Structure 1
């Protein structure tokens, strides 16, 4: 039987990913998906990358950004989302947002490296 988890991301510590980006990872007990909430500041360090094995849905909760997928910029505002097929280059660029972007990622299948990194971060920052 799958494990049921519940929580509130407002009670989780923010892990620095790189310049201008911090995150929390939640739903780490799910069998096939995992989620992150990212706080992205204006002038964030962009990081074009792809995931050979993972599909992604990127949702914007607050702020404004350009989210690039396969070289195309999608202007995201609160409530916007974009899908990222596996193996396709993508990145977020925040440069004129009135507030930091709060951006959620949903990955399928799970990203075990995110779970390992965030679990270690939690252990070190009890």
Structure 2
């Protein structure tokens, strides 16, 4: 299954494991952490985006995506949060697309918050035909 829930996020984009031989993109979906009382992400935007994200990445032959939890509300709001400082995540949810470009791994596009709920835009983004790439 292309959804990875136990992905060990490296310290930077440069360290993402995208093989030089592959032209396949790799996606990271940054989410609010789950509330221990409800089992649901604390952010309503993330709760709304999870079903379309899961549906979009459910095909066995589709691209890989890592679901990364960025912390609970106090951790997320901390301006020194590693996801803010190292991964430039400012909104939840954020879906970022990474590819190997000229031999280096680079972020080539992202969708944030309500953009993920636009099924046509999400599909185009995943397939690589979006103007936002």
Q: Structure 1 length as normaliser, TM-score?
A: 0.24
More helix by share: 2
More strand by share: 1
